[in-house]
Amino acid sequence: MRHDSGTPCVLALDGGGSKTLVLLVGRDAAVLAVRQAGGSNPFDRPDWRAVMAGLLAGLPDGIEAAVFGMAGYGESRDAECAGRIGPRGAGQ
């Protein structure tokens, strides 16, 4: 990932099931740099931590804020199963 070291920017990460994308965006909304790797959804990618570590390694100076959108964040397998079953007594 290359951009002028020290240029103020925001890191934006979009982590999904099929790919994970990292952008550095300048104050003028210009995209300064892009990185892409495989999916990072912890429910279907056991290697999600390695994907994230690889994308976030060696970031340049100048990042003033970061925004992360992650598939599966705040979810749990128990909640997922309960959602399929429905409320107790439903359908009876």
Q: Give me the DSSP letters along 25-60.
A: EETTS-EEEEEEEE---TTT-TTHHHHHHHHHTTPP
**18-75: pLDDT as tens digits:** 999 999 999 999 999 999 999 999 888 899 999 999 999 998 889 999 999 988 766 6
Backbone phi and psi for residue 32, each to the nearest 5 degrees, phi listed first: -90, -30
pLDDT computed for residue 7 by the predictor = 84
82 band by pLDDT with thresholds 50, 70 and 90: very low
Q: What is the pTM of this model?
A: 0.72
Domains and CATH numbers, the chain: 9-85 (3.30.420.300)
